[in-house]
Chains A and B, each alone.
Chain A
Amino acid sequence: MIGLATAFVAQVLRISVPYALAATGGAFSERGGVINIGLEGIILAGAFGTAAGTLATGSPWLGVLFGVGAGILIAALHAAITVGAKADQILSGLALNLLVLGGTRGLLRLLYDSSSNSPRFEGFAPLAYVARFTGDAAVPGGAAATGPGAPFEGLLLLVGHPLFLLGAGGIILAQVLLFGTGFGLSLRAAGDGPRALDGAGISVSRVRAAGVLLSGVFGGAAGAWLALEQHMFTDGMSGGRGYIALAAMIVGKWRPLAGATACLLFGAAEALQMRVPSGVIPTQFLQMLPYVVTILALAGWIGRSTAPARLGEPYDREEGR
């Protein structure tokens, strides 16, 4: 029974990690006033970078680095287009999503001669201390665990997952960065009242670009998680997660920790899809849940979500707004 419950919790956490990472990335971008529909593409690029990097170097650590780098690359394009050229943020994001979808598909064919997936690769081995509790090598899907920690194997595996620890730490750090540091204050000012920031002698463009690049870091990490979970890259594997992350970010009112909490809710709904017989609650209705909740939140029926005041507006010094 305990085993079943902990397995469910572990599954929810596993599903929620990429959402929470990407939602945090979205919060960085949007707190600075830049809408980031391109999260979907950033995640996909991150996943591809991770797979290609791991396959090329044999090291998942370097793979994650590649993935985050690919995320930053797409984010940098978004920043150049929206902050540099001050072009439309929504269209830039949409176009970048199309670009990455087509681009990764093309690269998949060029590099791995496949239209569906990359070759398989091994991810991280769980950190050594996990084995002490579960009593075996604790390889997912491997021999049954026998140690005292056996019922908690799923959770222990997560706690022993380097990227999980980094991601969870990163989200907490993001909360602190946004709400407890001078940079966070500048970033929020760039989204709420860029003119004041400009008046304080801080470059609005630079702060906004930094926010967008941070969304690339977190979005790329979300993609890295996906690729490592599946041990390969598959075509279009972001599967709308960027949009769910945006939804969680809105429900969490543009705050990393609250967004991550919303992601846990969405993750739980997704985990239930695999466990609840569809006669009880149809799978499709559980699939809809995040989107419906987001619309309700936007419409103000459950805890009004208000976007940063200048979200979506390029800052133009001459117009001064």
Chain B
Amino acid sequence: MTSLWHGPRGRWAKCFRKGRGGPAGDRAALRVPDRGLDASDQGRGLNAGLRATARNALILSAGPVVLSVGLGLLLAAVAVRALGTSPSEFYSRLFTGTLGSVYGFSQVLFKATPLLFTGLAVATAFRARLFNIGAEGQMVVGGFAMAWVGFAGPVLPIPLGLLLALAAGAFAGAAWGAIPGLIRARTGGSEVIVTIMLNFIAVALVNWLLVTRFALPETVRTAEVHASAWLPRFSDHVGALRGSPLNGALGLGILLAVVLHVVLGRTVFGFSLRVLGEGATQARYAGLPVGRLIVQAMLLSGALAGLAGSSFILGYKRYYEGDFSSGAGFTGIAVALLARNRPLFLIPSAIFFGVLSYGGLVVNSIVPRELLEVLQAVILLLFIVFDRLLQRLPLRPRWGQAPSGDPAVPATGETP
């Protein structure tokens, strides 16, 4: 379980869990590869051991990604052939249509933008081993809030109107995310179920607001937001992008990915989340305020998901419309997994899913576009299976498997 959220970084957790010293175990681990060398080779052996460890770590973290994407694309080729189309034509259409032209690629980036936000949201929660399946609902609530501030709020000078709308989206998403956080922290109720339930509640609530007050007559959309809250459309400035919905939300997403890379990787808060992810008991021993961290993680996660609608609502259509999210909250889970919850890896991961998402339209004339929806699911399934299976390979130094007969390493096994 641990490895899924954190790649191959579970070692300190195991030290905590088994109540065994880390350093001794570390020495034992490093000794494994250089068994059989004499003392003079010790230094070189240690080096080789480190290199082997680094290589194994790479296999464990990148292996499932490569295998699941590779096998998934292979299976798709088999399916395409079974449908009576040539796989090479399918793939050449898929890739030239999505990556081969500026316009196509801009469409891919447009599809990738909300996925980047929801992926960041899911990854942030994953760090603390919290399962935010509620990105969808947080996105809906946040999207409605930013649209509402955008059309009903005050008309402000250019950057302020936009900032206010974004803040409203982040705030609403954070509030929606805090509910499962609070329930988890206070009562231990599963955030998985609570976030799923809140997705439905969010949709019903926003629908009620739309139907009773805010929808334009005969539609399921709101009024347009003020121009001061708009994110710029790139098509207004670059001729080659004419007709493309790509907009400034992409820049915001990339900026947030970089910020989160620092926050999650380089700050006390980010480290605390990771400790929490290793287990609440360990975190408590480390003196961390577990309940507060859970709520903070969910607040941050919800805020990120709340911003996911900015591309559609402030950049593309510039109004709120029912069903605008088109499942980005759920796809975000797959995006975060394939990026192994690393904020910067989320960018290529979101683009990959953007290719699959827009690619459906590109290949629709030769195979049903649903094939690519199925492919996304298959890749996700293959990923979780390979992730688990690779853990079973003898790649990771395992505590309790020190070379037998070595008196320097205490005998291991269940502590009595």
Contact = CB atoms under 8 A, between A and B. Distances in A.
Interface residues of B, number: 45
Nearest to A246: B193
A307 B380 contact: no
A92 B374 contact: no
Contacts of B133: 90, 94
A292 B330 CA distance: 21
B208 A282 contact: yes
Interface string A74-95: 0001000100011110111011
B131 interface: yes
A99 B183 contact: no
A284 B200 CA distance: 10
Contacts of B212: 282
Contacts of A86: 388
B370 A92 contact: no
A85 B385 CA distance: 6
A109 B380 contact: no
A225 interface: no
Interface in B180-220: 183, 186-187, 189-190, 192-194, 196-198, 200-201, 204-205, 207-208, 211-212
Contacts of A90: 131, 133, 192
B208 A285 contact: yes
What's the dominant secondary structure at chain B's contact region?
helix
A283 to B, nearest CB: 8
Given A95-B381, A99-B374, A102-B374, A299 B183 contact: yes
B373 A105 contact: yes
A288 interface: yes
B133 to A, nearest CB: 7
B368 A109 contact: yes
Nearest to B179: A295
B187 A299 contact: yes
B76 to A, nearest CB: 12
A247 B187 CA distance: 18
B193 A106 contact: no
Given A106-B370, A298-B194, A300-B189, A284 B380 contact: no
A88 B187 CA distance: 24
Contacts of A250: 193
A294 B378 contact: no
Contacts of A294: 193, 197
- Of listed B179, B186, B194, B197, residue having the most chain A CB within 10 A: B197
Contacts of B414: 320
B337 interface: yes
Given A106-B374, A299-B183, A292 B201 contact: yes
B374 to A, nearest CB: 4
Contacts of B205: 284, 288
A299 B388 CA distance: 32
B196 A88 contact: no
B4 A88 contact: yes
Nearest to A110: B368
B58 interface: no
Contact of A295 (B183, B207, B211, B387): B183
A5 interface: no
B384 interface: yes
A285 B200 contact: no
B409 interface: no
B377 A105 contact: no
Interface in A162-180: none
A291 B189 contact: no
B279 to A, nearest CB: 13
Contact of B373 (A81, A101, A299, A314): A101
A298 B193 contact: yes
A192 B145 CA distance: 43
A92 B131 CA distance: 13
Contacts of A307: 190
A94 B330 contact: yes
Interface in B354-388: 368, 370-371, 373-374, 376-378, 380-381, 384-385, 387-388
B204 A106 contact: no
B194 A295 contact: yes
Contacts of B381: 77, 81, 92, 95-96, 99
B373 A91 contact: no
B258 interface: no
A144 interface: no
A287 interface: yes
Contact of A81 (B183, B376, B385): B385
Interface in B36-57: none
Contacts of A288: 200-201, 204-205
B1 interface: yes
Nearest to A240: B200
Given A102-B373, A294-B197, A299-B183, A88 B368 contact: no
A243 B333 CA distance: 18
Contact of B370 (A109, A240, A299): A109
A103 interface: yes
Contact of A247 (B197, B333, B334, B387): B197
B81 to A, nearest CB: 15
Interface of A: 35, 37, 77, 81, 85-88, 90-92, 94-96, 98-99, 101-103, 105-106, 109-110, 240, 243, 246-247, 250, 282, 284-285, 287-288, 291-292, 294-295, 298-300, 307, 313-314, 320
Complex A-B, nearest 5 residue pairs according to Cβ-Cβ distance, in ascending order: A102-B373, A106-B370, A99-B377, A284-B208, A298-B189
12 contacts: A37-B196, A94-B133, A95-B334, A98-B377, A102-B377, A103-B370, A106-B368, A243-B197, A243-B200, A284-B204, A291-B197, A300-B187
Given A37-B192, A102-B377, A298-B193, 9 more contacts: A81-B385, A90-B131, A95-B384, A99-B381, A109-B370, A246-B193, A282-B212, A294-B197, A295-B198
